[in-house]
Amino acid sequence: MVSLVRGANYAIMAASFCPSLPHHFKPTPIVKFPQSSFSFKVFSSQSSPADETPTRVGFLGLGIMGSPMAQNLIKAGCDVTVWNRTKSKCDPLIDLGAKYKPSPGEVAASCDVTFAMLADPESALIVACGEDGAARGMSPGKGYVDVSTVDGPTSKLINGQIKETGALFLEAPVSGSKKPAEDGQLIFLTAGDKSLYEKVAPYLDIMGKSRFYLGDVGNGAAMKLVVNMIMGSMMTSFAEGLLLGEKVGLDPSVVVEVISQGAISAPMFALKGPSMVQSKYPTAFPLKHQQKDMRLALGLAESVSQSTPMAAAANELYKVAKSHGLSDSDFSAVIEALKVKLKD
């Protein structure tokens, strides 16, 4: 669970990775998000490109989300340079025309703007601020866009380090999983330097269908965690309902169909339901990442003294699912954790 202590631990990590970051540095806790700091403005992918679009684009992290996002940039004709901890994951993009650099710092040094899609706050911090991190290659005029899902304190730490180089920072976590990433249908939840947001808007529009600018750094992270907390809780409730229906003799496939035509219809239920009925969980969003996001969301709630009993209960189910070897399965595999609990 994220807490201010955890944020402080990240500060210590960052200080060791980035010599220019003082060891006594402490992140500003996310205590509240003043409504006045939010700009609830949505832009469609049909918006006009911003002026002064950067020409050389870096992409760090080529996992289940990063790879299709970078591929869409390449296919759109962008000059893309890539890096991944496991070099072999870069090869398909190199075959498409991407360049390769052996470290995040070298990617950042060779590009006008660098995107990063990492698995968790620790990875995001290391890639941005590590010994060969992106900050090493940053300088005035460059930009760093972190599209990872992290907590607010981590995002603020990265922002501070990037700003020390004279470069600009934008957090831009995405709403959407593997298929939307492949189809360029992601939703970007951005916050940070408005000028950088405007410059990279054409790239966001290649990778996504809409984008929100939410003001100060930390707001994008908060929005993503709220969304994923709701999503994770919905999935556990959906799974519970499917199992109850089956227990009382209803055909779970018909339960899915009824739900899809009613007031509680949701794309997630229609997409995941049929495979859940068959106990198949093709990975679009790994369960381990959903549990990580639940943990971060609970930490956010704790920082503002808000009780989240439903999310807390859902988080426990994801933890049970992880303990049964389902970390890399789709998050809909949480239904297997419920099956285990029902047998106890």
Q: What is the pLDDT of residues 113-146, one digit of tens each?
A: 999 999 999 999 999 999 999 999 999 999 999 9
Using the predicted structure, report yes or no on whether residue 35 has a pLDDT greater than 50.
no
For residues 91 and 201, membership in a common domain is answered with yes
For residues 38 and 104, membership in a common domain is answered with yes
Domain region containing 291: 222-343
From 162, 192, 215, the end of a domain falls on 215
From 186, 215, 244, the end of a domain falls on 215
For residues 208 and 226, membership in a common domain is answered with no
Using the predicted structure, report yes or no on whether residue 183 has a pLDDT greater than 70.
yes
From 182, 215, 248, the end of a domain falls on 215
CA-CA distance, 75 to 152, in Å (whole number)? 32
Q: What is the pLDDT of residues 270-307, one digit of tens each?
A: 999 999 999 999 999 999 999 999 999 999 999 999 99
For residues 183 and 90, membership in a common domain is answered with yes
Q: Residues 284, 205: contact at Cβ < 8 Å? A: no
Q: Which two tokens stand for residue 253?
A: 């496939």
**Domain at 200, CATH number:** 3.40.50.720
For residues 129 and 270, membership in a common domain is answered with no
- Name the average pLDDT for the chain: 89
Known catalytic residue: 194? no
**Domain at 316, CATH number:** 1.10.1040.10
Q: Which residue of the set 224, 272, 288, 322 is catalytic?
A: 224
Q: Which residue blocks in the chain are alpha helix, DSSP H?
A: 4-17, 66-75, 91-96, 104-110, 121-129, 152-164, 178-183, 194-207, 219-247, 252-261, 267-277, 287-303, 309-323, 334-343
For residues 242 and 320, membership in a common domain is answered with yes
For residues 50 and 199, membership in a common domain is answered with yes
CA-CA distance, 205 to 264, in Å (whole number)? 30
CA-CA distance, 182 to 39, in Å (whole number)? 28
263 class by beta-carbon count within 10 Å (0-12 exposed, 13-18 middle, 19+ buried): exposed
For residues 123 and 248, membership in a common domain is answered with no
For residues 188 and 82, membership in a common domain is answered with yes
Q: What is the pLDDT of residues 303-341, one digit of tens each?
A: 999 999 999 999 999 999 999 999 999 999 999 999 998
Residues 6+ apart with CB under 8 A from 175: 186, 187, 189, 224, 227
Backbone angles phi, psi at 171, to 5 degrees: -90, 140
For residues 59 and 168, membership in a common domain is answered with yes
pLDDT band at 50; cut points 50, 70, 90: very low
Instruction: Give me the number of domains the chain comprises.
Output: 2
For residues 294 and 331, membership in a common domain is answered with yes
For residues 192 and 304, membership in a common domain is answered with no
Bridge partners of 41, per DSSP, are: 213
79 class by beta-carbon count within 10 Å (0-12 exposed, 13-18 middle, 19+ buried): middle
